[in-house]
Structure 1
Amino acid sequence: MTETKAKTNAEIHVLADETLGGIKREYVEVNRKAEVGEKIVIVNAGVQCEEPYSNGDIFEVESLLGCGRGIQTACYRDIFDSEYRVLEPTDIVHIDDGRYEMVEREGEVGEKIIVVSPDEWIGDDEETGRIGTVKSLYSDGDLSVEAIGLVFGTEYRVLVPLNKHEKTFESKNSVYKQMKNFIHNDLGITRQDIQEMISIAVSNEVQKMSESGKLDRIAGEKIESLIEEGFGNGGRLLYGFKERVSQTVSDEVGKRIANVLNINVELKEEGN
């Protein structure tokens, strides 16, 4: 049984997965007892035997030691549970220079898929790990795939590129920086200038809302809602209702004006 070493990055290992035809797959370290057939990585090498091992070595579990003491690998290495971490496979695979997530859903035309579970009556193990692009769709998730042919809906996973979102984010961030530099450097507009322009614009909008009566309607709807809530106890006015109405209206008005216009506003409750 082969044994390999892998470079680690934040406890993530990239290893060839034989169950996917040898495609590179990301594994994550988990602190638990291993089972037969699982991969483990040495993190706290202690016992030295005729076939020594060190931190970072990766093995596949052949059998379990008695009394729950540990596991045994090829060449009869006995490894205690405190010396290793289990490597659990994730849904992320590496194909060419890209990272993809294997997603269980129906494929769409133009998407890449990977065969993970060939039909036992039609397919064979050699189909596992094959990758192709969807040409056309059939019912029940079945697909026609380039270089593969008919693929049933139970046989594949869709490959969603993970770096696509990252590139989109980087592109948007680059555009934002270019616009920011243009505003500050080329137009000579400072942050204070922008704040003043926003303040003036918001003031004009508030004035328009007030003149059109829209501001009164908003306040009226808020108060109407509070009144309905206040008389919700069998038609009896709830205790503290008047204070809640006054405080709510004051808070809302004060908060909106102070936050948007960046001015200090102090509202005092009028006497009853």
Structure 2
Amino acid sequence: MTKSNVNIHVLADETLGGIKREYVEVDRKAEVGEKIVIVEKADCEEGYKNGDVFTVDREYRPADGDVESDGASSDSNCDGLIYREEYRVLEPTDIVHIDGERYKMVDRKAKVGEKIIIVRPDGVIGDDYDTGRVGTVKSRHSAGDVSVETIGLVFGDEYRVLVPLDKHEKTLENKNSVYKEVKNYIHNELGISRQDAQEMISIAVSNEVQKMSESGKLDRIAGEKIESLIEEGFENGGQLLHGFKERVSQTVSDEVGKRIANVLNINVELKEEGN
């Protein structure tokens, strides 16, 4: 089991064209190509010191986790040997620093006006952009493809959306604050307990299911999903796949649940006491 530390390092990420990226320390064996940081130097004569960051070039004793890095080599350590107990692995996060701002890279379709970063250019001849290129979306196309200012057409699997982290965290903080205010109002001012709220939701869901059943929507939802699963099941040599019955039940249940939630517009989280 790995153990994560709270220490964060902001380093240039060559896989993103040198853009600054946040890394976290993880206590485990390193693999070739990974970044490591010295946390407990073993030999006072070594050329490196605590806090130095290296890239692993070779494994020395894989079973022990000892590695070698050309950057750590010295007159007394020609191969740059670093013992397992001396380092922590630096794992990359989704957070990058661009023009003094922190952003989270999110894998979704971009909207007009949002910033994106190129993470995997497809190498099509005529494309004039590399990994790490940043731009603002000016129009959208199908399948997540977008037109980006100063870049041009970018396919949906080539980029990640850059979400301003400070703004995102502030939004979450505001939502949590509103949630607490509403919760306190419900409990203190209206005198509604958690059990009362659960009963209200249960009644609303039951009523909605009844409406969907009477209107025929429930039959259509179930029919469409079951028909799709049957076609998929018989693709395996004419025999239904293992667990078909369970998949039908779960899929229809999930679909009905989503439809009910959309109609009721309910997003309630009932937290257990003490959790």
The TM-score, its normalising length taken from structure 1, stands at 0.57
Is 1:101 the counterpart of 2:104? The answer is yes
Task: Give the SS at the match of 1:90.
Answer: strand
Is 1:86 the counterpart of 2:82? The answer is no
More displaced 10-residue stretch of structure 1: 10-19 or 61-70: 61-70
Q: CA deviation at 1:169?
A: 6.5
1:202 and 1:80 map into 2 onto residues whose CA distance is 63
Question: Which amino acid is the alignment partner of residue 84 of structure 2?
Answer: D
Is 1:56 the counterpart of 2:56? The answer is no
Question: Which amino acid is the alignment partner of residue 73 of structure 1?
Answer: S
Question: Which amino acid is the alignment partner of residue 134 of structure 2?
Answer: I
Q: CA deviation at 1:123?
A: 6.8
Question: Which amino acid is the alignment partner of residue 59 of structure 1?
Answer: F
**Maintained 8 Å contact 1:47/1:79:** no
**Maintained 8 Å contact 1:37/1:60:** yes
Q: CA deviation at 1:173?
A: 10
Task: Give the SS at the match of 2:33.
Answer: coil
Q: CA deviation at 1:66?
A: 3.4
1:89 and 1:65 map into 2 onto residues whose CA distance is 23
Query: Where in structure 2 are the equivalents of 1:221-240 lying within 5 Å?
Result: none
Superposition RMSD on alpha carbons, in Å? 3.4
Question: Which amino acid is the alignment partner of residue 87 of structure 2?
Answer: Y
**Maintained 8 Å contact 1:21/1:126:** no
Give 5+ residue unaligned stretches, structure 2: 74-78, 178-184, 192-199, 204-275
2:58 and 2:106 map into 1 onto residues whose CA distance is 32
Which of residues 109, 113, 116 in structure 1 aligns to 2:116? 113
Structure 2 CA distance for partners of 1:165 and 1:67, relative to 1, 3 Å? closer
Give 5+ residue unaligned stretches, structure 1: 1-8, 175-194, 204-217, 222-272
Query: Where in structure 2 are the equivalents of 1:174-253 lying within 5 Å?
Result: none
1:124 and 1:24 map into 2 onto residues whose CA distance is 24
Is 1:17 the counterpart of 2:13? The answer is yes
Question: Which amino acid is the alignment partner of residue 92 of structure 2?
Answer: P
1:145 and 1:56 map into 2 onto residues whose CA distance is 39
2:17 and 2:152 map into 1 onto residues whose CA distance is 18
1:28 and 1:52 map into 2 onto residues whose CA distance is 24
Listed one character per residue, the Cα deviations across residues 105-141 of structure 1 (whole Å, up to 9, x for unaligned) are 1111011000000012337795110000000011111
**Maintained 8 Å contact 1:24/1:93:** yes
Structure 2 CA distance for partners of 1:149 and 1:122, relative to 1, 3 Å? same
1:45 and 1:17 map into 2 onto residues whose CA distance is 25
Question: Which amino acid is the alignment partner of residue 68 of structure 1?
Answer: A
Residue 268 of structure 1: aligned partner? none
**Maintained 8 Å contact 1:45/1:55:** yes
Question: Which amino acid is the alignment partner of residue 163 of structure 1?
Answer: D
2:31 and 2:176 map into 1 onto residues whose CA distance is 45
Residue 41 of structure 1: aligned partner? 37
2:124 and 2:190 map into 1 onto residues whose CA distance is 69
Q: CA deviation at 1:170?
A: 7.2
Q: Give 1 or 2 for the bigger CA radius of gyration.
A: 1
2:147 and 2:161 map into 1 onto residues whose CA distance is 13
Question: Which amino acid is the alignment partner of residue 112 of structure 1?
Answer: K
Which of residues 142, 149, 152 in structure 2 aligns to 1:149? 152
1:130 and 1:109 map into 2 onto residues whose CA distance is 17
Task: Give the SS at the match of 2:97.
Answer: strand
**Maintained 8 Å contact 2:11/2:22:** yes
More displaced 10-residue stretch of structure 1: 15-24 or 67-76: 67-76
Structure 2 CA distance for partners of 1:146 and 1:48, relative to 1, 3 Å? same
**Maintained 8 Å contact 2:115/2:162:** yes
- Aligned residue pairs total 178
Residue 60 of structure 2: aligned partner? 65
Structure 2 CA distance for partners of 1:80 and 1:146, relative to 1, 3 Å? same
